[in-house]
Structure 1
Amino acid sequence: MRTAVVRALLCAAASPGLIAAVPAPQAPPAVSVSVAVTDGADDTETGRRLEYRVTVHNLGADQVHGARVEQRMPATTTSATAPGGTVQGHGTGRQKVTWRADLPAHDIQVFTATAVLGDRPDRTTTAAPGTLRAAATACVYVGGSYAPVACSGDLDDLPQTGPAGDGNDGWGWWAVAAAAAALLVPGVVRTVRRRRAATAPR
């Protein structure tokens, strides 16, 4: 066993060119990618069809092979479509669209998708204006990494909903109070006058 090891070392020493010929492993080139997603709107409502545009830009000088572009649809999405992509998830929930593409150096690619929004699960809740939104996110992944190299989001305001008549409750109470006052005040005034007349000196 020792003889074989010694022979291997001698051969390696006698042929340094063989060792030098083996290239050292190199780190993959840095990836510089940007992504933007928008549906061209600032607010939306139940039943509306949203048309998303996902723009991916390879800012680097090297081609990116096998990039994975993922877009997560709003939580209330009932149906989604994506030309050239794959839609995962069915029914209302966290639906996701995936595209796969090579990104040439300095190239810009655009992906499109649509989503139809359904009702929120709880229509009896209320919140401050601007806190109810339909949110979509788009991210770019390279290779088998679970960490995205770039992400972007789009937010649309949703109208508030609440129990029927919520907006008129205050006015209703005022109307009831006014009607009660109109009925009670004359009776109270007559009663006071009668008592004063009865106690007045004759």
Structure 2
Amino acid sequence: MRTAAACAVLCAVALPAAPAPQDPPALAVTVTDGVDRAEAGQRLDYRITVHNLGGDQVTGARIEQEMPATTVSATATDGTVEGAGTGEQKAVWHADLPAYDIQVFTAGAVLGARRDLGTSAAPGTLRAATSVCVYAGANAAPLACSGDLDDLPESQPEPEHGNGVGWAVAALAGALLVPGVVRAVRRGRARRSG
């Protein structure tokens, strides 16, 4: 019995205690480009604000901004741009976030024309959407995310389907001409048979 008790005491002293689970850092993030409408060829300048609301520093945070789907070129001040094709670009920053600190990151995106004219968020519009998420370490789940939406006008005019005036004129002409043609045919037949 003494051996078991001695072993328990020695094992407790020799083995480190499991660390207490920590709450994830409290972060808030916002992103804005200062406009509500954009169009092809326009450059949007984004301001990303990350606020560490907690009393502990977040070391090695990763801030990722997914650029709008029509982005043809992007920049990230003091960061990098990953992805090369339209719709595949994102800006990435790595930073330490001191306790109760606010940090600002900036990025830019030049929009191209939308490619898929069959989809629209509202008649005649599409949205230029961007999202920003903050990650800590190798954690796959974001600690905070935010987004910004801008309306894009129709990049190509909708095909005209007509307003029915052509059909109305054709119907009117037919209504006026057909009885006259029918009478002329009847008269011609009556002369030949008579």
Q: TM-score, normalised by structure 2?
A: 0.77
1:74 aligned counterpart, secondary structure: coil
User: Where do residues 125-164 of structure 1 align in structure 2 (5 Å cutoff)?
Assistant: 125=118, 127=120, 128-129=122-123, 132-161=126-155
User: Where do residues 66-77 of structure 1 align in structure 2 (5 Å cutoff)?
Assistant: 66-77=60-71
Q: What code does the residue aligned with 2:85 have?
A: G
Answer whether contact 1:141 1:147 (CA < 8 A) is retained. Answer: yes
Answer whether contact 2:41 2:112 (CA < 8 A) is retained. Answer: yes
Inter-CA distance 191–10: structure 2 relative to 1 (3 Å threshold) = closer
Q: Which has the higher strand share?
A: 2
Q: Which has the higher helix share?
A: 1
Q: Percent identity?
A: 56
Instruction: Kindly state the Cα deviation for residue 133 of structure 1 after the two structures are TM-superposed.
Output: 1.2
Say which of 43, 46, 62 aligns to 1:49: 43
Answer whether contact 1:126 1:160 (CA < 8 A) is retained. Answer: no
* Matching residue of 1:177: 167
* Matching residue of 1:60: 54
* Matching residue of 1:96: 90
Unaligned runs of 5+ in 1: 1-5, 196-202
**1:80 and 2:74 equivalent?**
yes
Answer whether contact 2:66 2:89 (CA < 8 A) is retained. Answer: yes
Unaligned runs of 5+ in 2: 187-194
What is the Cα-based RMSD across aligned positions, in Å?
Answer: 3.3
Instruction: Kindly state the Cα deviation for residue 72 of structure 1 after the two structures are TM-superposed.
Output: 0.5
Instruction: Kindly state the Cα deviation for residue 177 of structure 1 after the two structures are TM-superposed.
Output: 2.6
Answer whether contact 2:24 2:143 (CA < 8 A) is retained. Answer: no
Inter-CA distance 192–115: structure 2 relative to 1 (3 Å threshold) = same
Answer whether contact 2:82 2:90 (CA < 8 A) is retained. Answer: yes
Q: Distance in 2 between matches of 1:35 and 1:108?
A: 10
Q: Number of residues paired by the alignment?
A: 181
Instruction: Kindly state the Cα deviation for residue 94 of structure 1 after the two structures are TM-superposed.
Output: 1.4
Q: Distance in 2 between matches of 1:12 and 1:187?
A: 111
**1:120 and 2:114 equivalent?**
yes
Q: Deviations over 1:136-163 (max 9, x none)?
A: 100000111011000011111222355x
Inter-CA distance 110–130: structure 2 relative to 1 (3 Å threshold) = farther
Instruction: Kindly state the Cα deviation for residue 126 of structure 1 after the two structures are TM-superposed.
Output: 5.4
Inter-CA distance 56–130: structure 2 relative to 1 (3 Å threshold) = farther
Inter-CA distance 186–62: structure 2 relative to 1 (3 Å threshold) = same
Inter-CA distance 28–165: structure 2 relative to 1 (3 Å threshold) = closer
